[in-house]
Amino acid sequence: MKKIFKSVLVATVVVAGLSGAFAFKSDSVVKKSAATVTYVYSLSTPTGARTASNWTLTPGSGPSCGTPGEVPCKVSFDTSVYPTLQTYIDAQHFASDQEVAFGAGVISKE
């Protein structure tokens, strides 16, 4: 009886130890961190502003846009909210390309 009790006790300790090790490992997994990204608009007219391929990812905060106007210049957004530029654009529900210049997070230029 003592032999069975010791075997069960050892097995319980081993299982508890392995469970604790796996629980610790899953908590220590590095989660993908979000970042603010900036895109610069590549065209000189607002036509095409709702198309992500007309924007270029830029390092840092991007260039100065000068005097605000009717053409989008750059946009910054958090990738934890919008993983891509197209998801950002789609989520804004812009009715026209011209509206992009006045959207949330968008800086416009003349």
What distance lies between CA 11 and its chain's CA centroid? Answer: 45
Per-residue pLDDT tens over the stretch 57-71 = 998 888 899 889 999
Residue 103 has pLDDT above 90, yes or no: no
**How would you label 68-93 residue by residue, b for 16+ Cβ within 10 Å and e otherwise?**
eeebbbbbebebeebeebeebbeebe
Per-residue pLDDT tens over the stretch 23-38 = 544 455 555 566 899 9
